[in-house]
Amino acid sequence: MAYELAPLPYAYNALEPHIDEATMKLHHDKHHQTYVTNLNAAIDKHPELAAKSPEDLVRHLSAIPEDIRKVVQNSGGGHVNHTIFWQLMKPAGGGDPSGPIAAQIKADFGDFESFKKLFNETTVKQFGSGWGWLIFQAGKLKIVTTANQDTPLSEGLFPILGNDVWEHAYYLKYQNLRADYLAAWWNVVNWDEINKRFATAQGK
Ligand code: MN3
């Protein structure tokens, strides 16, 4: 097996009541596991790629053999995106941002409430399955979305934070109310991890 699913960094019920235990179990053990399984099946056909990190695979999709490129885009992207996502949340998270990311949000969006509103409004409109992301480009924070499991890494961008708006991320608890899920998600965000990722995005 080239790639493995790491356990969640907290208990399945640790993000209650904002994200429920059943959703976390399904999302991690079934959905994320399936991306890893399908990525491994593709890499089995080209074992020379197994030495690469999953991030390196999706950073250079054009270098992936054509017969497995789409699987690497979808399942490699799914693996990378979810690995980031679990780390971006923590029990008793949320609250106002702290550290360097707080100052950058203030500089680029005015204040945290305005940033959150714009992130939620942009991400709620992603048609079908996809993700909302915060990236850092030319010295500024920007909000972008991707479809399916496409990742900003494939565009040469480094995601600082991201939220999964596939229905599997919220439908058990929030049904069709994606906006309610997006609003609740800020109660579990891990600003320490986001500050670490912001430092990396700045090349620090
Ligand atoms: Mn997902």
CATH at 76: 1.10.287.990
Q: Are residues 108 and 62 in the same domain?
A: no
In a domain, residue 5? The reply is: no
In a domain, residue 117? The reply is: yes
C-alpha 9 – ligand 1 centre gap (Å): 16
Three-state DSSP class for residue 14: coil
C-alpha 70 – ligand 1 centre gap (Å): 18
Q: Which domain holds residue 31?
A: 21-87
C-alpha 110 – ligand 1 centre gap (Å): 30
In a domain, residue 109? The reply is: yes
C-alpha 38 – ligand 1 centre gap (Å): 15
Average pLDDT over residues 178-182: 97
In a domain, residue 3? The reply is: no
Q: Are residues 158 and 189 in the same domain?
A: yes
Q: Are residues 198 and 118 in the same domain?
A: yes
Domain termination residue (choose one: 55, 87, 119)? 87
C-alpha 28 – ligand 1 centre gap (Å): 8
C-alpha 162 – ligand 1 centre gap (Å): 11
Q: Classify residue 91 as exposed, middle or buried by CB count within 10 Å of its CB (0-12, 13-18, 19+).
A: middle
C-alpha 34 – ligand 1 centre gap (Å): 11
Q: Classify residue 102 as exposed, middle or buried by CB count within 10 Å of its CB (0-12, 13-18, 19+).
A: middle
In a domain, residue 33? The reply is: yes
Q: Are residues 74 and 144 in the same domain?
A: no
Q: Are residues 186 and 124 in the same domain?
A: yes
C-alpha 151 – ligand 1 centre gap (Å): 12
pLDDT in tens, 89-146: 999 999 999 999 999 999 999 999 999 999 999 999 999 999 999 999 999 999 999 9
pTM over 0.85: yes
Number of folded domains that form the chain: 2
